[in-house]
């Protein structure tokens, strides 16, 4: 328990900053996406002193902008990259066991059309192989439906040329919370982590490497020294790499992936559905609460990896693809939100088609005591982290404890778990469990102590003050950090009423020390931010 009665630690950013330059760390991890978070957790659990710095908010890069699947990847199956698929399916099962509240096994639908998409036999063979590769970790056996069966299951499928469909099992994952909770567990194991701290330069030091770090909230800088460093900066990896090894050829050729969001009323799909666009690309339409999201694109889009904008062309492509494949008519006007992310795609100079490159990871010994880990998938982050820490230990000569991340739950179980009081809407209680796992107990206790904190802060967006308070403890610097990466499923993807934002800022204020002027400024900044169209 903390002094204020909550088990959940409040992540004090200033205390972290004070600590960062006070010692020489065993490992400094650069990047607080899923890869960096995973490395920090693994290294700390294996007994190392770990610091992690993130240039923006934790999960603010690619890791909150995904399609939100923990999957083996049908695309890789088609490329016959079977080892990659098997590995990812194993990690899918690990995720479900260590973070059951964030990961949900779900049936997916994949229709087959004459002349486009894949022929029925290929689909059948592919899905059988997918089941076989999952082995004992399979969630359910695939099923083949004829045309009538497919339409009965999903009446929205376009009827023209429809031959049937396959139903297969995969999982959905709350990407941003996966990162936040991985960082939380790294902190429990002793790691010191700070957001809004960008590594600007690096040079060799007696112990290993010393970095020049900019505190982007305090507008100051400090130095950070580590015996070993891990570059986990996702699509930005080549930038930091070149500070250490100037003139090296690029590892990555990032591509941009856009998702759009429409109201579920307009596209009332039942299950996540894999569809093929006119150009043969696989993409998904996914129902999520009151919304359906569609994505992703896969383009080089000018190659500016700092540009997260969504263009009219991206929207038109996805709207057009959905209208082709589904018997509903949506238009650009129905698009209420969108998000874009850059894939840290490992370079394959021989291929011109970005969709034809499989997402394998790279763990590169960039220099002595400096490893770059990039590529891969959200789904396989734990394994990438384990391999990175093992490589680092070999390089430096450390004898570490064995890795325990396949078994250790992300959120520790509690003895004598709390139940919400009678009268609490089970849907609200379920939502809070899905957000915080066993830490939902803090929210249930708060609801009981002060029933006003159990009141929804808006009629449609139902956060309560107690869950906002709880999420505010996770090093929140802006309202966007709180709403997009601590509370919501879809980042910036859906409109939130101004009244709700005001109420959320007010509920967070006691934890974050925001006065009324700051609360109003945060609400305005959120509404202006580029990815809330």
Ligand X SMILES: Cc1cc2nc3c(=O)[nH]c(=O)nc-3n(C[C@H](O)[C@H](O)[C@H](O)COP(=O)(O)OP(=O)(O)OC[C@H]3O[C@@H](n4cnc5c(N)ncnc54)[C@H](O)[C@@H]3O)c2cc1C
Residue ranges in 247-266 that form contacts with ligand X under rule CB under 6 A = 257
Nearest distance, CB of residue 200 and ligand X, angstroms: 7
Residue 216 CB contacts under 8 Å (≥ 6 apart), including other chains: 55, 56, 196, 197, 198
Half-sphere exposure of 54 (CA within 13 A, CB side): 28
| Identity of the residue, 233 or 464, whose beta carbon is nearer to ligand X in the bound complex | 233
> Among 11-19, 120-128, 308-316, 372-380, which window interacts with ligand X (CB under 6 A)?
372-380
Nearest distance, CB of residue 518 and ligand X, angstroms: 24
**What does the alpha-carbon distance between residue 454 and residue 456 come to, in Å, rounded to a whole number?**
6
**What does the alpha-carbon distance between residue 386 and residue 210 come to, in Å, rounded to a whole number?**
24
CB 289 within 8 A of CB 460: no
Number of residues that bind ligand X (CB under 6 A): 40
Which letter does DSSP use for residue 420 in this model? Answer: P
The single residue among 17, 28, 29, 34 that binds ligand X, judged by CB under 6 A, is 34
- Does residue 33 belong to the site contacting ligand X (CB under 6 A)? yes
- Does residue 62 belong to the site contacting ligand X (CB under 6 A)? yes
Which DSSP helix (H) or strand (E) runs through 436? helix 426-436
Exposed/middle/buried for residue 353 (C-beta within 10 Å: 0-12, 13-18, 19+)? exposed
Helix %, strand %, coil % of the chain (to 5): 40, 25, 40
Residue ranges in 185-214 that form contacts with ligand X under rule CB under 6 A = 198-199
Taking residues 496 to 525 in sequence order and writing x for each that binds ligand X by CB under 6 A, - otherwise, the string is ------------------------------
Nearest distance, CB of residue 24 and ligand X, angstroms: 19
DSSP string, 121-148: HHHHHHHHHHHHHHGGG-SS--EEEEHH
Residue 493 CB contacts under 8 Å (≥ 6 apart), including other chains: 259, 261, 291, 293, 336, 337, 338, 339
Residue ranges in 323-362 that form contacts with ligand X under rule CB under 6 A = 341-344
> Among 95-103, 232-240, 437-445, 505-513, which window interacts with ligand X (CB under 6 A)?
232-240
**What does the alpha-carbon distance between residue 233 and residue 245 come to, in Å, rounded to a whole number?**
16
The single residue among 233, 301, 388, 405 that binds ligand X, judged by CB under 6 A, is 233
Closest alpha carbon to 171 in 426, 378, 480: 378
| Identity of the residue, 293 or 444, whose beta carbon is nearer to ligand X in the bound complex | 293
- Does residue 41 belong to the site contacting ligand X (CB under 6 A)? no
| Identity of the residue, 82 or 424, whose beta carbon is nearer to ligand X in the bound complex | 82
Nearest distance, CB of residue 259 and ligand X, angstroms: 7
Nearest distance, CB of residue 286 and ligand X, angstroms: 10
Q: Which residues bind ligand X (CB under 6 A)?
A: 30-36, 53-56, 60-63, 65-69, 71, 198-199, 232-236, 240, 257, 296, 341-344, 374, 376-379
């Amino acid at each position: 328990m903390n002094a204020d009665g909550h088990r959940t630690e409040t992540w004090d950013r200033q205390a972290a900053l004070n600590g960062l330059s006070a010692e020489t760390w065993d490992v400094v991890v650069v990047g607080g996406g899923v890869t960096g978070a995973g490395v920090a957790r693994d290294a700390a659990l294996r007994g190392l002193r770990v610091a992690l710095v993130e240039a923006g908010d934790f999960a603010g890069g690619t890791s909150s902008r995904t399609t939100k699947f923990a999957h083996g990847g049908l695309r890789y199956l088609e490329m016959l990259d079977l080892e990659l698929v098997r590995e990812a399916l194993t990690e899918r099962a690990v995720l479900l066991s260590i973070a059951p509240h964030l990961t949900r096994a779900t049936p997916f639908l994949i229709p087959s059309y004459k002349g486009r998409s894949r022929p029925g036999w290929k689909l059948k063979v592919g899905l059988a192989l997918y089941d076989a590769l999952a082995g004992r970790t399979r969630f359910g056996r695939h099923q083949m439906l004829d045309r009538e069966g497919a339409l009965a299951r999903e009446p929205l499928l376009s009827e023209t040329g429809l031959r049937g469909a396959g139903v297969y099992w995969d999982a959905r994952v709350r990407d941003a919370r996966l990162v936040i909770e991985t960082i939380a567990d790294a902190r429990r194991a002793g790691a010191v982590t700070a957001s809004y701290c960008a590594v600007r330069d690096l040079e060799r030091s007696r112990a290993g490497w010393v970095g020049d770090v900019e505190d982007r909230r305090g507008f100051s800088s400090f130095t950070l020294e580590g015996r070993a460093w891990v570059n986990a900066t996702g699509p930005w990896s080549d930038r930091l790499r070149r500070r250490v090894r100037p003139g090296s050829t690029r590892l990555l050729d990032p591509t941009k992936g856009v998702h759009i969001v429409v109201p579920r009323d307009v596209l009332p799909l039942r299950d996540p559905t894999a569809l093929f666009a006119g150009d043969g690309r696989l993409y998904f339409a996914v129902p999520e609460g009151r919304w359906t999201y569609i994505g992703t694109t896969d383009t080089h889009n000018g190659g500016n990896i700092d540009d997260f904008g969504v263009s009219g062309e991206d929207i038109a492509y996805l709207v057009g693809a959905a209208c082709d494949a589904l018997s509903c008519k949506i238009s650009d006007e129905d698009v209420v939100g969108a998000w874009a992310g850059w894939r840290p795609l490992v370079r394959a100079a021989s291929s011109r088609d970005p969709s034809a490159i499989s997402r394998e990871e790279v763990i590169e010994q960039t220099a002595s005591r400096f490893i770059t880990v990039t590529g891969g998938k959200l789904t396989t982050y734990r394994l990438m982290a384990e391999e990175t820490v093992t490589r680092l230990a070999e390089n430096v000569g450390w004898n570490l404890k064995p890795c325990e991340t396949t078994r250790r739950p992300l959120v520790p179980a509690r003895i004598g778990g709390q139940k919400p009081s009678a009268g609490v809407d089970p849907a609200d209680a379920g939502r809070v469990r899905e957000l915080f796992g066993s830490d939902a107990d803090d929210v249930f206790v708060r609801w009981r102590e002060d029933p006003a904190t159990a009141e929804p802060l808006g009629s449609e967006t139902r956060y309560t003050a107690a869950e906002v308070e709880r999420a505010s403890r996770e090093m929140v610097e802006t309202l966007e950090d709180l709403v997009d990466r601590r509370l919501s499923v879809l980042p910036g993807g859906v409109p939130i009423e101004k009244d709700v934002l005001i109420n959320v800022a007010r509920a967070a204020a006691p934890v974050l020390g925001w006065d009324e002027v700051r609360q109003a400024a945060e609400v305005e900044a959120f509404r202006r931010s580029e990815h809330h169209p």
